[in-house]
Chain A
Amino acid sequence: MKADEEAQDQAASIAEVREAVKRFAAPEGGIVTALDGVSLKVRPSEFVTLLGPSGCGKTTLLRAISGFEELDAGEVRIAGAPMTGVPPHRRPVNTVFQNYALFPHLSVGDNVGYGLDVAGVPRAERNTRVGETLERIGLDGYERRRPDQLSGGQRQRVALARAIINQPKLLLLDEPLSALDRNLRKAMQLELKNLQHDLGICFVFVTHDQEEALTMSDRVAVLNAGRIEQVAAPETHYHRPATRFVAEFIGDGALFSGRVEGPAKDPVLVTADGLRFAVASGTPAGQEATLLLRPEHLEAAPKSPRASHGVIEARLEQSVFLGALHQFVCRLANGATIIAAPTGAGAGNLSEVAIGDSIRLAYRRDQPHLIPEVGDGA
């Protein structure tokens, strides 16, 4: 049953990275492990995002797929074919480079037609396809411009057009939007997403902007120090992060580590400094775990809270009005800050509290996610 599923998955994956390891000799001596056993599958017409802090190995993983870095261990497969030893120009993938890497000596038309020219596509067909591609990305009529006569956003589009004209199985994009200003970025995010949908090509997209990752992707792979922490849909990352790192990296929230105690009906997470948090009933006692409290989980506690709720004693430090949202920054007994952003009536109750006053916050005990602590060895 399990093997069956795996075989099916195998056939369906456009690209697969297995146990990839890549080490670099750092110029200042020593060895950097950029990829430390990364495995990832990209399914047909999927938009996968690699998300992680700077230096976690995102670019290295992309370059391993496109063939510019050779792996020290593990392998890359594209459409089922092993890519070990296959040079970049023979791989059915194309890349949108972070700095665009447009050829400065060629016109926009020749940049876009480059892939067709080197493949020896007949002139007439080449010209129609260049025209179509430029039209698709909204740059028709720009054929004869040179890259330096374009704005940043237009260059971005040319880089995109150049990469999709070969109709690759997989398009790799390394922080393609990072050089654009905020508004343009938003517009391009939508456009990229639409383009991906229309073309039906798989996108592997690199970013270190979590918002970008969450809005655009079918699945997000969170990387940390050369390892994949979790690969999942954006909602899963937000609501049920697999590790503390993912929980900290994606979204706002407060994290409390401790041990679960008490009866199965009323389990409580007790932290090292004695704070107690009610957790979902049925959580087995004795478990080491981390509780993730998102701002929207918290609201003002009623006079007599129900058993289905957990209560937190805190002091109101600051109240931040954000338009649609009202955030209350509170401090707990152990000095940790926690942010509450209640929706609906809960916000009204909280805004009556004066700054510096003590405050009682409540949350539904089954709402916050509990991340089970995994031993280092596992």
Chain B
Amino acid sequence: MARRGDTRRLAFLLGPASLFLGVFFIGPLAVMVVYSFLEPGLYGGVEWNFYHWNYGRILGWADGEWEEFDAVYAQIFLRSARLALTNVAITLIICYPAAIWVSGLSARWRTMVVFLITLPFFVSLVVRLFAWVLILRPSGFLNSSLMGLGLISEPIDIIFTETAVLIGMAYILLPFMFLPLYASIEKLDRSLVEASSDLGASPLQTFFRVTLPLTLPGIAAGSVLVFIPSLGNFIVPDILGGAKVLMIGNLVEQQFLSARNWPFGSALSVMIMAVMFVLIVLYLRSMGRQEARQ
């Protein structure tokens, strides 16, 4: 039972944060959910009528008059999910060995590497992505290097493809995979790996039977942290995907900024959030189980 003084102190300590989140986070969120059920105004803005056709357009019912169901939204949604999942896989495959390697370094080098990993955050995201445009475009660094080496005779089309989008997303989200992975690998008790080896397990067996299961929390955390920003991302497809690779984030952006259909944009956003919410609940539940076991 919490004592009176504890409660008061808690209120004092948590008050400002709760107030801030309430006003600037929950508030806008509520506005968006409400808007997603309103009718779009003819020239932007909203009409205050209950209007579920926004969701109908996405999920498959139409009023037959103004709003039409179009499977393209679901397709874009699925493509975004596919790209986000691929991105999770790419970052995981890159970061896992790297994190194992870093955790074996001396303390000084470990700090250094972690610092280097966070270094890109000092430079604006847009600037970093434009650097990738310079690298990937037909006359860019990648193509001229490959042609100079005689590996290809014509520039390959990379820029404005899904590949370019994946490269860009993996690039900006690598640290979000690396840091939680590294934290859990670093925490792994070395003597467990030794015990496994002592009992006759080959390095590969040790990896699958001990290292991997015990670093699962890091993998899960990294995956959620990479999947969520990947799913809603619109800057990377904008810059590296051109008009060809439309992701759900771009769609939302368009609805708010060019089409000026706020209710429909809100409905799309609510859909994205619903997916993320389900994911996070699943994640927390599995973590809770893990904790109960350990």
Contact = CB atoms under 8 A, between A and B. Distances in A.
A166 interface: yes
Q: Is the interface of A mostly helix, strand, loop or mixed?
A: mixed
Interface residues of A, number: 27
Contacts of A117: 209
Interface string B256-294: 000000000000000000000000000000000000011
B210 A118 contact: no
Contacts of A144: none
A103 B210 contact: yes
Interface in A194-222: none
B198 A94 contact: yes
A104 B214 contact: yes
Interface in B113-170: none
Contact of A104 (B196, B199, B205, B294): B294
Interface stretch (B18-26, B61-69, B186-194, B246-254): B186-194
A372 interface: no
B195 A89 contact: no
Interface in A46-94: 66, 68, 87-90, 93-94
Given A99-B191, A103-B192, A103-B210, A89 B293 contact: no
Contacts of B75: none
Given A104-B294, A146-B293, A89 B214 contact: no
A89 B209 contact: no
Interface residues of B, number: 22
A87 B195 CA distance: 13
Contacts of A104: 192, 214, 293-294
Given A88-B194, A148-B294, A101 B189 contact: yes
B197 A89 contact: yes
B5 interface: no
B202 interface: yes
Interface in A118-152: 118-119, 146, 148
A101 B202 contact: no
Contacts of A88: 194, 197-198
A162 interface: yes
B194 A114 contact: no
Contacts of A90: 200
Nearest to B191: A101
Contacts of B16: none
Given A89-B202, A105-B213, A105-B214, A97 B191 contact: yes
Interface of A: 27, 66, 68, 87-90, 93-95, 97, 99, 101-105, 114-115, 117-119, 146, 148, 162-163, 166
